[in-house]
Amino acid sequence: MAVATPVVAERPPSLDALLGLARSDMAAVDELIRRHMDSPVPVIPALADHLIAGSAKRLRPLLTIAAARIAGARDEACLKLAAAVEFIHTATLLHDDVVDSSQLRRGRVAAHLIWGAPSSVLVGDFLFARAFELMVGAGSMPALEILARASRVIAEGEVLQLTRAHDLDLSQDVYLEIIKAKTAELFAAAAESGAVSAGASPERCRSLRKYGQDLGIAFQLVDDALDYSGDAGALGKNPGDDFREGKATLPLLLVMARTGASERDFWVRTVDRREQTDADFERTRELMRQTGALQATLDLARTYAESAKVALADFGASPWRPALEDLADVAVARTA
Amino acid sequence: MAVATPVVAERPPSLDALLGLARSDMAAVDELIRRHMDSPVPVIPALADHLIAGSAKRLRPLLTIAAARIAGARDEACLKLAAAVEFIHTATLLHDDVVDSSQLRRGRVAAHLIWGAPSSVLVGDFLFARAFELMVGAGSMPALEILARASRVIAEGEVLQLTRAHDLDLSQDVYLEIIKAKTAELFAAAAESGAVSAGASPERCRSLRKYGQDLGIAFQLVDDALDYSGDAGALGKNPGDDFREGKATLPLLLVMARTGASERDFWVRTVDRREQTDADFERTRELMRQTGALQATLDLARTYAESAKVALADFGASPWRPALEDLADVAVARTA
C-alpha cells in the first residue's frame, strides 16, 4: 500500500496540461523512435519494441520537448534530441536489467529472459549508437556534448552503485551521488539539451538543467520508496527487488540507522549476506513504518520537487510553467 | 657444388615505416587515452587499463592518424578522433567477451572473469560515452556522424552474428556481410573520419574509407584463419575458440562445403550441436589442410589487401602511402 503524503493540494496534480501542450511534438517523437529502432537484423526492432512499447510515459523526452518549447524553440531539432534521450534511457534499462538480472520491466518479462543477455547487451549498444546518430541529425554540438557527458556520468553512477550498493555503511551522501548520476543526470541533460538547442541564455539553460536534476532526484527517491510500499500490478516490476538484491537505497539506509544496534544482526544477515526468508521483507516494511523511514524518504522527495519548481521562476507566464510544476507534484504523488 | 640461387626476396612487410611516421601522434593519442579512461569510480580505470594496456598495436587509431595526415591534416583534431576510435573498439571488445563468454583477450584473462560481466558491460558503456565526448572535443560533426553510424553498424553486425553464426548453411555472402559490419566498418570509419576531419575532398575520403574497409575485411579473414592455424602464445587467445562456439567463419564454411555429404554428420554434431571431443578440432584442421579451406581464406584476404593498396593510388608520393601499403601486407602475412 502507498504511504499517504500530507499534501495540501487545491487540485490533484496531473500530467494532463503537459501532455496536452506536448501532444503533437510527442506524436512526432514517437514516429522518430519507431523509424530509428528499425534495422534489417530482425531481433533488433523486436527487442527494442518490447521495451519501448511498454513505456507509456516517456518522461525524459517530454522534458526535452518542454524545455525546448518553454525556451522558445520554434524548429524541430528538439524532436530528434527527445528521441535520442529515450534511446539512451532504453539502452541503459536493457543493460541494467542484465546487470541486475531483473525479472520484470515496465510490466513485461525483462528482455534478456526472452532474447538472452547477449542480445540485450548488443541491442542496448545499437540504441545508444542510434541516439548519437539522432543527435547528429539535430545538428547542435553543445546539445550533443551535454548528452555524451550524461551518458558517461550514468555509466559511472551504475558502476558506483554496483561496487558500493551492498555496503551496509553506505553514507546518505554517496547514495545521493549515485542517484544523481544514474537517474537525475539524464533528467537534467534531457532538459538542458532541449534548452540549449533552442538557443536559450546560459542562465535559462542552467535553470532548466536544475529543474531536471531536482525532478530526477525526487523521481528516484519515490522509486526507491515504492520498492517497499508499492504493489507489483501498478509498478510493472516486483516490489522488494531492491531488498532482495541487498541494494542500499535511502529507505533501507534510514531504517538501518534508526533501528540501531538492536537490529544489526538482522541487517547483516538479510542485506549484507542476502540470506532472506519471505517474512524478512515484511518485517523490514514494518520497521520502515515504525521508524518513519519511508515517510522521511518521501519528505526528501517533496523537498527536491519544490526546489525543481523554484527553478522555473524565470519563465514568467508561459503555459509550460504550471504544466512542469504539475509534473514535479505528480513525480512525488505517484503510486507507480 | 651447386651455387645457391639467390631468392628474389622483396623486403619483408613491416610496420616500421608507419610507426615511425606516426610516432609522436600516437604518443599523444596514448596520453589522451590514458587521461580519458580516468574516473573517480576506481573499477573503471582499473578495468579499462587491463584491456587498453594489453593492446600493443592500436591499429584502428593508427589508421585515423595516417588517413588524416596523408590527407594533409595539420592540426590535432585527429588525435581526439583516434582516441575515440580506440575507445569504441575497446568498448565492443568488452561487450563481445561478455556475449561470447571468452576466456582470454589480448593475452590476458578476459576482464569479465576478473571484475564480473556487469562491470564489463558498464565500463564498456563508459568508454563508449567517453568516445563521443572525445569526438565532441574534436569538433567535426561529419566525423562524429561517421563514427556514430559505424558504432550502430557494428552492433547490427554483432547481433547478426549472434543470431546466424551457428547456422551450418550460412552463405559466404552473409558471412562477408557480418565481418564487414562487425570488423571492417570500424577500420573504414577510422580512416574516413580522419580524412573528413582533415577537410579532404569527398573522393579522397571515399578512397581512404575503401582502404580501411578492405584492410578490415583482410584483417578479419586472417583472424578467422588463425583461429585454426595459430598458436595460443602468439595469438593472445585460444585457437579453436570459433570452432568450440560453433561459429561459422569462412574456413569452416569452406571445409564444410568442400567435404560435402560424406562429413555432414560430423559437422552437424560438432558445429550445429556443439558436441565435440578434443580430437574433433584436430580432425577439422586436417580436413581444412586437405581441402585447401585455410589457403582459400588467406587467398581471399590477400585479394582484399591488394584492393586496399589500389585505393591509395591518388595519394602520389606521400611517405604515408608506402607505409599504408606495408600495413596491408602485414595484415595478411601476420601469424598473430
Which ipTM did the prediction report? 0.92
**B300 close to A (CB below 8 A):** no
Residue B231 belongs to some domain of the structure: yes
Residue B233 belongs to some domain of the structure: yes
Residue A10 belongs to some domain of the structure: no
Do B308 and B328 touch, CB atoms closer than 8 A?
Answer: yes
Cβ–Cβ below 8 Å for A155 and B119: no
Q: How confident is the model at residue B235 (pLDDT cuts 50, 70, 90)?
A: low
B132: closest CA of chain A, how far (Å): 6
What does residue B104 show for φ and ψ, rounded to 5 degrees? -125, 145
Residue B134 belongs to some domain of the structure: yes
Cβ–Cβ below 8 Å for B118 and A99: yes
Residue A1 belongs to some domain of the structure: no
Given a cut of 50, is residue B26 above it in pLDDT? yes
Q: How many CB pairs under 8 A join A and B?
A: 137
A174: closest CA of chain B, how far (Å): 12
d(CA A216, CA A328): 9
Residue B6 belongs to some domain of the structure: no
d(CA B297, CA B294): 5
**A306 close to B (CB below 8 A):** no
Q: What is the CATH number of the domain that holds A120?
A: 1.10.600.10
pLDDT score of B114:
83
- Chosen from A156, A182, A193, A247 to mutate, greatest number of chain B CBs within 10 A: A156
Residue A2 belongs to some domain of the structure: no
Cell 543527435 belongs to: A135
Beta bridge partners of A109: A104
- Per mean pLDDT, which range of B108-117, B140-149, B157-166, B302-311 is the poorest? B108-117
* Tens-digit pLDDT string for chain A (336 aa): 445 555 555 667 899 999 999 999 999 999 999 999 999 998 999 888 888 877 767 999 999 999 999 999 998 999 999 999 999 999 999 998 888 877 776 667 788 888 888 899 999 999 999 999 999 999 999 999 999 999 999 999 999 988 887 777 889 999 999 999 999 999 999 999 999 999 999 999 999 999 999 999 999 999 999 999 877 666 666 778 889 888 889 999 999 999 988 899 999 999 888 899 889 999 999 999 999 999 999 999 999 999 999 999 989 889 999 999 999 999 999 877
- Per mean pLDDT, which range of A157-166, B69-78, B197-206 is the poorest? A157-166
Residue A209 belongs to some domain of the structure: yes
* Total number of domains constituting chain A: 1
- Give the chain A residue nearest B99 (alpha carbons): A118
Coil, helix or strand for A90?
helix
Range of the structural domain that residue A229 is part of: 16-333
Q: What is the mean pLDDT of residues B22-40?
A: 95
What does residue A213 show for φ and ψ, rounded to 5 degrees? -65, -50
